[in-house]
Amino acid sequence: MNVVPPINFDLYPIEDAAAMAKIVAKSREQLDRDQYCSLPGFLTDAAIKEAAAEIASLKAQANPANSKRNCYLQRQGDPSLPPDHPRNIMHHASYRMIAADLLPAISHLKTLYFWEPFQKMVAGIVGEETLYPNEDPLQPVNVICYAERDQSAWHYDSTNAFTMTLMLQAAEAGGDFEMAPNTRVKPGDEDIPYMREVLTGQSDQVKSVGRAPGELTIFRGCNSLHRVSPVKGPRDRLMAVFVYETMSGIKGDPEVNMTVYGRKA
């Protein structure tokens, strides 16, 4: 796409190499230190309102999720392990998912996702030479909608080295993004006592990361447990998720698509 997305260029002069080098370096330093970095006011206020209205019009087509899961997104525990093992600690999750193919091709979200200078900026922040769009029809740009009492369970993301989200609309109350940094180094190399404390509400290391509308957040969701706390009030919490890959030609698992979006591509 050649359309320039409605970025707040006063704050993020993305085509000014010298200015952006400083922003990228600062963001990368925060990501390495805290396991997340935030770029507030990344899109213009008008663009965020337009995107939120567009998503609200698509909500009826979103796939509902309502289940109990462990932090590995599994609905069944492991009876061979103790009851207080993370695989056997279940939490409730409920929300609605809007897949990429429901978004218009000229939507602000897709325009941003496919804009090459934006991809280069993100690659610099996460320490990759090149990032590629995910080629699955459902996954590249998706939106999670949380209504009143909805929430996400504590969980890890996929094996992708980073997760990127853009807040479109905050809830009136609740809906906080909470993260426990560095609960594992990599899959299979986990701090089980630390995880248990997080999952049972006993950890003092959980961070609440503020996310105002228009704020872009990049975090290491593969190595840090995180969740969205229960939403309170009638205003939906709307959050876009951008999925990039370190190799070209990557598509999603059809079974995962069935679970998340209620259909296969």
Q: What is the pLDDT of residues 75-104, one digit of tens each?
A: 899 999 999 999 999 999 999 999 999 999
**DSSP structure class, residue 234:** S
- What is the 3-class SS of 1-36, one letter each residue? CCCCCCECCCCCCCCCHHHHHHHHHHHHHHHHHHCE
Within-domain flag for 2: no
Residue 154's CATH number:
2.60.120.620
In this structure, of 112-121, 130-139, 151-160, the range with the lowest mean pLDDT score is: 151-160
Within-domain flag for 12: no
Within-domain flag for 155: yes
* Residues contacting 28, CB < 8 A, separation 6+: 37, 124, 125, 126, 127
Q: What band does 185 get if pLDDT is binned at 50, 70 and 90?
A: confident
Within-domain flag for 86: yes
Q: Which domain holds residue 196?
A: 17-260
Domain count, the chain: 1
Q: What band does 204 get if pLDDT is binned at 50, 70 and 90?
A: very high
Within-domain flag for 8: no
Helix (H) or strand (E) holding 257: helix 254-261
Encode pLDDT of 216-261 as tens digits: 999 999 999 999 999 999 999 999 999 999 999 998 878 778 878 8
Within-domain flag for 184: yes
Within-domain flag for 191: yes
Within-domain flag for 4: no
Cβ neighbours, 10 Å, residue 168: 29
